[in-house]
A = this chain, B = another copy of it.
Amino acid sequence: MPDARDVQVHLLPQLVPNGALAGSVAVAVDVLRATTTVIHALAAGCDCVRPCLEVEEARELADRMRAGRVILGGERGGAPLPGFDLGNSPGEYTPKVCRGTTLVLTTTNGTRAMLKAAEADRALVAGFVNYSAVCEQLRTDPLPIQIVCAGTEGEVSLEDTLLAGALVDVLAEVVEIQLNDAARMAWDCFENHGQMLQGALELSLGGSKLRSLGYDEDIRAAAQVDQYALVPELRRDPLRVEVGAVGIVKSHWQR
């Protein structure tokens, strides 16, 4: 087999072996809801997103920026934070609110996945809402691929694994790939749950929690495959997420 391409999935940020991301293109996945929200925010006109691990770090960063040019957003335990402008619902990030601003974002799981992905040479941000655009970036990038799932409060999550598997499924069609066991399991997950995407998101741990908090609309928003054609990409100094490639040549969704 001529140079099979490495495609590895990590079901949680803490399961990425030390140094594994060096020399690769990483993909951060937190379908419910952080990466979906980042895509929405950039599509709605935010200049960039600054992911922060801690609530206080996010507050301080936003305080240092010019009022009116910054949105402080995020959640803990799914709920909005006191004094924050917005929560972590994709639908809150409208053009009216977002245009020309920097979003400072801190969430329970997703920001961790994005910051872990930043250890790679190149790091992209994926949701179902920009699925085919991400597929095309991965297809044309020659680097090994490392998909970093956020999970839910330290537990592996069906919704992130499902998107990881959907990415594996497309890559398997276009290049020779070499998978780790988690990538095979993610692919299995997509094979079985991909045809009922919204149902799968609803019954997942993250989805159940959102429904119990009344965020059913966020699940529907996360399941809008290919709503956007942009791929958020991490930039450095300072670490931030901006719009990278834009465009979908063809839809890769095959369920």
Contacts and interface: CB of A to CB of B under 8 A. Distances in A.
A184 B200 CA distance: 10
Contacts of A156: 11, 15, 181-182, 185
Interface residues of A, dominant DSSP? helix
Contacts of A181: 152, 155-158, 161, 204-205
Interface string A198-228: 0000011100000000000000000000000
- Max chain B Cβ within 10 angstroms of own Cβ: one of A158, A191, A193, A205: A158
14 contacts: A11-B11, A15-B154, A152-B181, A155-B180, A155-B182, A156-B182, A157-B181, A158-B185, A181-B204, A181-B205, A184-B203, A185-B185, A185-B188, A188-B193
Interface of A: 11-12, 15, 17, 152, 154-158, 161, 180-182, 184-189, 191-193, 203-205
Given A17-B154, A155-B181, A189-B189, 11 more contacts: A11-B11, A15-B155, A17-B155, A156-B181, A156-B182, A157-B181, A161-B185, A187-B192, A188-B191, A188-B193, A192-B192
